[in-house]
Amino acid sequence: MILGLTGSIGMGKSTTAQMFRDRGIAVWDADAVVHALYAPGGAAIAPVAARFPGVRKGDTIDRAALRAAINAQPDTALDDLNTIVHPLVAADRARWMRNRADTLVVWDVPLLFETGTADACDRIAVVTVDADTQRARILERGTMTPSEVDLILSRQMPDADKRARADYIIETTDMETARAAVDRIVEELT
């Protein structure tokens, strides 16, 4: 059983994924794969640096520089980046799935619907919170400017559309509510 876990930026996806891990469920994490692809030895470094000159810092991709490059070319940059990165992410997922005997695994993927990955999942859980809380959480991290947040949001399926496609909705208003929802899902699927 593959449970796809998704949600728009800042909705609490990583925190919720950890709740599945705490219950012994294996989680494949797309954002973590991207981090590895940009770290020393990562397969995305050369092609990303070729498309975005100046974002390479030593043996790594500098995410702040990459964010700035994306914001400087809002119409084309993210599509080009997706074209480079998404096949590498999909290949990692296929490797991770090989020889797996778990009753339930979770795929933690921010762009689950946008990339078509949802089609390969048996069930889908969407994490959600109201838009004001979402924005406050993102800006609190201090890594993105409001205009960078707007650009990312414009490239994601709206939260309401995601919720409409979900088998489970996990409200991340507080930790207890989210934990209770995760408990119910794990109980039902294992």
Ligand X SMILES: Nc1ncnc2c1ncn2[C@@H]1O[C@H](COP(=O)(O)OP(=O)(O)OP(=O)(O)O)[C@@H](O)[C@H]1O
The annotation places the binding site for ATP at: 10-15
Q: What angle do CA 157, 74, 161 make, to 5 degrees?
A: 5
Which CB sits closer to ligand X, 97 or 139?
Answer: 139
Stretch that binds ligand COD, among 19-27, 77-85, 125-133, 167-175 (CB under 6 A): 77-85
CB atoms within 10 A of CB 121: 20
- Does 15 bind ligand COD (CB under 6 A)? Our answer is no
Geometric angle at alpha carbon 153, from 152 and 156, rounded to 5°:
95
Q: Kind and range of the H or E element at 22?
A: helix 13-22
Query: What phi, psi does 52 have (nearest 5°)?
Result: -120, 85
Q: What is the greatest pairwise CA distance in the chain?
A: 49
Candidate residues 78, 131, 157, 186; the one interacting with ligand COD per rule CB under 6 A: 78
111 binds ligand COD (CB under 6 A): yes
**Binding partner of residue 133 among ligand COD, ligand X, none, CB under 5 to 8 Å per kind?**
none
Assess 12 for contact with ligand COD (CB under 6 A).
no
Nearer to ligand COD, 43 or 78 (CB): 78
Q: Is position 110 an interface residue for ligand COD (rule: CB under 6 A)?
A: yes
